[in-house]
């Protein structure tokens, strides 16, 4: 344990720390790809009409200025996804920390059973293979406590943790629930 650390040692602790930086990079790529396509169209239009004039070159410069300015809101909007999200599980407790949400923590000695529900809100039709795909997916984790009450936490699969990490979290919850002789159910 590090000197000055305020966390107690927890045996068999597994901690998953992740960010959603890929969504930010995806949004920036979309902005610049759009800019490149518009630039090509303006240059192509200039070539088909005749010579490239100073107006078409000025038009390209204006388009790129607008695109650079439009990336500023994208950087602001996607600032949150670059913050670290943490899921930690040990023989003592479960802790979930997501930006702009209160920290969730529960000790294993308070838990009777763990239930994970996969909720899907809305569906959209894929244009490629005409299949319905979920618009938004949540993992609702409910802990039945020893005093008869229930504590829950909802993980938004696209905003809180990446899909792959959510699967890993479900797997860890199942492993630790079995290890701690608690009930586990995935719906």
- Which tokens sit at 127? 């244009």
Which residue in this structure is represented by tokens 């990446």? 162
Say which residue the tokens 């229930």 belong to: 150
Per-residue confidence (pLDDT) for residue 161, from 0 to 100:
83
What's the sign of the alpha-carbon dihedral 170, 173, 178, 181?
A: negative
d(CA 99, CA 88) in angstroms, rounded, equals 15
Query: 174: closest CA among 161, 164, 163, 187?
Result: 187
Q: Do the Cβ atoms of 114 and 179 come closer than 8 Å?
A: no
Q: Which fold has domain 84-186?
A: PH-domain like (2.30.29)
pLDDT, position 1:
39
Q: What are phi and psi of 129, to 5 degrees?
A: -115, 10
Bridge-based pairing state of the strands 183-186 and 111-125: parallel
pLDDT of residue 52: 60
Distance CA 185, CA 156 (A): 19
The C-alpha angle 90, 95, 99, rounded to 5 degrees, equals: 145
Rounded to 5°, angle at Cα 149 from 146 and 152: 105
pLDDT of residue 4: 42
What are the residues whose beta carbons fall under 8 Å from the beta carbon of 168, sequence distance 6 or more? 16
Question: What is the full per-residue pLDDT of the chain (187 aa) written as tens digits?
Answer: 344 444 566 667 888 888 766 666 666 777 777 777 777 777 776 666 666 666 667 777 777 787 777 777 766 666 666 678 889 999 899 999 988 889 999 999 998 999 998 887 766 656 666 666 666 678 888 888 888 888 888 888 767 888 888 889 999 999 999 999 998 988 8
Torsion angle (degrees, nearest 10) of CA 69, 70, 71, 75: 100
């Amino acid at each position: 344990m590090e000197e000055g650390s305020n966390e107690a040692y927890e045996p068999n602790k597994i901690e998953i720390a992740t960010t959603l930086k890929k969504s930010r990079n995806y949004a920036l790529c979309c902005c610049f790809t759009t800019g490149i396509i518009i630039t090509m169209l303006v240059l192509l239009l200039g070539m088909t009409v005749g010579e490239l004039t100073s107006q078409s070159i000025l038009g390209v410069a204006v388009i790129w200025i607008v695109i650079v300015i439009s990336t500023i809101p994208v950087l602001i909007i996607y600032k949150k996804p670059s913050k670290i999200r943490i899921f930690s599980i040990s023989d003592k407790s479960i802790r979930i920390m997501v930006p702009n949400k209160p920290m969730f923590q529960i000790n294993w000695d308070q838990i009777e059973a763990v239930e994970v529900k996969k909720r899907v809100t809305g569906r959209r039709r894929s244009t490629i293979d005409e299949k319905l795909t979920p618009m938004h997916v949540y993992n609702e984790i409910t802990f039945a406590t020893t005093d008869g009450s229930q504590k829950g936490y909802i993980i938004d699969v696209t905003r809180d943790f990446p899909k792959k990490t959510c699967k890993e979290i479900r797997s860890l919850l199942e492993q630790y629930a079995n290890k701690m002789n608690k009930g586990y159910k995935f719906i």
